[in-house]
Amino acid sequence: MQNHHFSSLLDNERSQLPDQIANYILKKIFTGELVQDTRLIESNIAKELNVSNIPVREAFYILESRGVIERLPRRGVRVKAISEEEMADYTSALIELFRIGIDYSRSKWNEETRHQLQQYLKEAKEQLNQKNILEYVVKVHQLCGYVFQVAGNIAFIKFYSDITYITNVYSQMNWGDVERTEIRSLYLEALVNALVDGDFEKAKESFEILTRQSLNIKDETIQRDRLQ
C-alpha cells in the first residue's frame, strides 16, 4: 500500500489496514471529494491504494456499522445521505450528551486535567493557524471527548464517539469555511476557559453554540452575542 497520511476522525491509535482505509474514505467524505450518495466501488479503491479487495471490503463494513455508508439493493455501496432532520436529531443528542458529561465530571477536575484540556486547545489552535482544518477537527474532537474521559463513564465515551463519527464527517461544508471556523474557535476557547474556571453552565452554553454553528450555521451574530 502507498504511504498515505491518514488522519483519524476518531481514534488516532487505529493502525490496522482496514481502519486506515476506512479513515482514508472518511477523509474524502469530509473534504467533499466523496459527496452523499456517491457509489463506492471496492475494486477501484483497492487499485487506488494498491491493496487487495479484502481490506477494502472490511473497511466498508467498519463504515457501514457506524452509519457512514450503506448497501442498497441494485445500487451497491454508497455514501449514506443524511437529511437535515437527521442531522438536527444528531445535533440535539450530542448537545444533551455533553451536558450530562459535564455534570458527571464536575467533581473530577483537578490541576492535571485542566492542564491537559488547555494543551488540547493549544494544539487545536496551532492546526487552525496553519489552516489544517481536518487536523483541527481531530483536535477539537479530542478536546471535547476529554470531558467524558474526566467524567469516567465508558458508556458516555462510546455514545460520544458514535455520534461524532457521523457529525464530524457530514459537517465538512461548515468546517471547510476557514473564516467561519476561526470565528467558531472563540467558542471552543470559551468552553475551555469555563471548564478551567469551574463555570460548568457557561461551558454547556459554549459547547451548544459551537456545535450548532459547526453542524448547521445559522444566527451566528445572535449566538455570538450570548457569549459576550
What pLDDT was estimated at residue 161?
85
Residue (of 82, 64, 74, 63) closest to 25 by Cα position = 63
Stated pTM of the model: 0.79
User: Cα(35)–Cα(32) distance, rounded to whole angstroms?
Assistant: 6
**At 96, which amino acid appears?**
E
CB 90, CB 163: distance < 8 Å: yes
The list of the chain residues with pLDDT below 70 reads: 1-15, 172-177, 216-228
What pLDDT was estimated at residue 32?
78
Residue 157 makes CB contacts below 8 A (sequence gap 6+) with 145, 148, 149
What pLDDT was estimated at residue 4?
37
What pLDDT was estimated at residue 219?
45
User: Cα(21)–Cα(60) distance, rounded to whole angstroms?
Assistant: 9
DSSP classification of residue 11 = -
What pLDDT was estimated at residue 174?
60
What pLDDT was estimated at residue 184?
87
User: Cα(156)–Cα(109) distance, rounded to whole angstroms?
Assistant: 17
